[in-house]
Amino acid sequence: MTTAHPGLPPTGRPADELLAELRALTAGDLPTRGGHTTAYTYDAGRPEVREAAERAYLAMLEVNGLDPTAFPSIVALERRVVGAVAARLGGDDSTPGIFTSGGTESIMLAVKAARDIRPEIAEPEIVVPATAHAAFFKAGRYLKVKVVAVPVDPETFRAVPATMAAACTERTVLVVASAPSYAHGVVDPVAEIAAEAARRGLPCHVDACVGGWLLPWLAEAGAAVPEFDLSVPGVTSLSCDLHKFGYTPKGASVLLFRDRPMRLAAYFACAQWPGYPVVNSTVQSSKGAGPLAAAWATLQALGADGYRELGRAALTATRRLIAGIADIDGLRVLGTPDATLVAIGADDPSLDLFDLADETRAHGWFLQPQLSVAGLPASLHLTLTGVSEQGVDDLLATLRTAVPAVRERGPAAPPTELLALLDQFDLADLDDATFAALLPAAGFGPSRMAGVNRLLDALPPQLRDQLATRFLSVLYGPYLDAS
C-alpha cells in the first residue's frame, strides 16, 4: 500500500519534465533579459558571459561555504573577488573584506560591526540620510540599533553634512552615506560626511551597493564622478554589490573594511554547543558556493574592457533618457543623477505616477514605483544597464503616449472607504481572508499595482509597513488564487 504525500509525486520525475514546468511558471514573470525590466535585473547582454557564470555556478553547486577549512577553494575564490573589488575601490590586496549574499547582508554586517566594536554603548544609534536604503532600517530592527534618519536637501536629494553631523550623539556608532542612493541615483557628499564622522571619532559606512561596481567605469567613460571609496579619509567600510552592476547572478556582494578589528566585529563564532564549533563571516552558515564562483567567473569573463563598455552604454542610455524626459510634458527627473539610476517625478498633480507605471507595464516596460516619504515626492525608478541603450527610444515613445492617456484619466482618489476602514480597525484584527477580499476594492489585480501603491502612499509609515507585510502574507496564502 502506498500513502499519498501532497506536493510530492509518488515516484521521481524526469528533469526535462521539471524544467518544462519551470519554464511555464516563469512565463508569467517580468523578463530578466533585454532591459525592459528597469529594476531588479541586470543584463550584460553577453551570452558567453552568462554561460561562464552558469557553468562556474554549477561547478561549485555542492560546495558548502560553512567550513573554509574543509573547502579551501572558497577562501581562494573569496580572496580573489574581494581583492579585485578592493583594488578598484581605494583598497588593495590586504584590504579586509567579506563576500556576502547581497547588499542587505553587507549592510547588516557593517551595522553589526559598528555596534559590536562599541559594546559600552547601551542604546546604539546610526545616523543615515533619509534617502538611505531600507536595508539600514532592517539592520536597525534586526540588531536593535536606533536609526536616526536625517532630512536631505529637497532639491538635490543629497545628504547635508552639517545636518548629519548635528544628529550625531554620544550614542552614535555609525554614520552612513550613499554612493549613489538607490531612489534618486545621487551621490552624497561622502568626503565631508566622512570627515565630520572622523572628527567625532566615528566610523563611516559608504553604501555603494549599487554604485560601487558602476561609478568607477562611468568615470572611465568620461562622467564626473564624486569621490566615494575607501581612498576617502574617514570612510571605514563600504558595500558593493556584484549582483547589480557586476552583472553576476544574484547572491553576490562585497563588504570592505578599512581595518581588521572592524571586520572581526562583523564575524560570529559559537563553540558553546555540543556540535561543531561554528565560525561565520556572514549571516548564513551553510551556504552554496555557486554565487561566489559565478561572481568570480563573471568578473573574469567580462574583464575591465567589458565593464568599461557596459558602463559607457549605460551612461549613453541615461543621458538620452534624461534629455527625452525633459521634453515630455508632465514629467521631470528628480535631482541630477550621478549614475545610471533615474527617478522620474510628476510636475503636474493630475498625473498619477502609479497609474503610469501600470500603463507602461501593459506596454512592456516595468518602471518601479517609489512612495513619497519625509517630504520627498513619489517617483518612478529606472536603473539603466549595459543593454538599455537599444531600448531608450521605445521607452520614450511609450512614455509619450502613456503620459497624456494617464493625465486624461486624472488623479485616482485614494480608496477612501478602505482608508476609513483601516482607520477604524486594527489591521491585526482582520484575518488574511478578509484582507484579501478587500484588495479588489483597492484596485488590485494581475499587473495592476496602482491601487495598492496609492493606498500605501496615503498612509503614515507605520501603517504602510503593517499593510505591506499583510499583503505579503496574503500573497503567499490561498486567498488570491480563486479571484
Ligand X SMILES: *Cc1c(COP(=O)(O)O)cnc(C)c1O
Binding site for ligand X (CB under 6 A): 102-104, 107, 133, 135, 178, 182, 207, 209-210, 241, 253
In this complex, which beta carbon is closest to ligand X, that of residue 130 or of residue 421?
Answer: 130
Under 8 Å CB-to-CB from 128, ≥6 apart: which residues? 136, 147, 148, 149, 150, 176
In this complex, which beta carbon is closest to ligand X, that of residue 102 or of residue 330?
Answer: 102
Torsion of CA 34, 36, 42, 47, to 10 degrees: -10
Q: Which three cell numbers stand for residue 469?
A: 507585510
Locus of grid cell 507605520: 462
Bridge partners of residue 235, in order along the sequence: 204
In this complex, which beta carbon is closest to ligand X, that of residue 103 or of residue 391?
Answer: 103
Chain CA centroid to CA 187, Å: 16
Please, what is the minimum distance in Å from the beta carbon of residue 400 to ligand X? 28
Please, what is the minimum distance in Å from the beta carbon of residue 194 to ligand X? 17
Letter string b/e over residues 389-399, b meaning 16 or more CB atoms within 10 A of that residue's CB: bebbeebbebb
In this complex, which beta carbon is closest to ligand X, that of residue 103 or of residue 246?
Answer: 103
In this complex, which beta carbon is closest to ligand X, that of residue 228 or of residue 479?
Answer: 228
Please, what is the minimum distance in Å from the beta carbon of residue 107 to ligand X? 6
SS3 for 52? helix
Separation of alpha carbons 249 and 298, rounded Å? 9
In this complex, which beta carbon is closest to ligand X, that of residue 104 or of residue 248?
Answer: 104
Q: What residue number has its CB nearest to ligand X? A: 103
Please, what is the minimum distance in Å from the beta carbon of residue 250 to ligand X? 8
Please, what is the minimum distance in Å from the beta carbon of residue 352 to ligand X? 26
Torsion of CA 62, 67, 72, 74, to 10 degrees: 60
In this complex, which beta carbon is closest to ligand X, that of residue 145 or of residue 418?
Answer: 145
Separation of alpha carbons 3 and 1, rounded Å? 7
Please, what is the minimum distance in Å from the beta carbon of residue 133 to ligand X? 3
Please, what is the minimum distance in Å from the beta carbon of residue 135 to ligand X? 5
In this complex, which beta carbon is closest to ligand X, that of residue 130 or of residue 480?
Answer: 130
Question: Letter for the amino acid at 359?
Answer: E
Q: Which three cell numbers stand for residue 301?
A: 569573463
Separation of alpha carbons 9 and 169, rounded Å? 60
| Beta carbons of 207 and 179 less than 8 angstroms apart | yes
Please, what is the minimum distance in Å from the beta carbon of residue 140 to ligand X? 14
Locus of grid cell 526535462: 16
Cite the beta strand spans of 258-346 per DSSP E: 268-270, 278-280, 331-333, 341-346
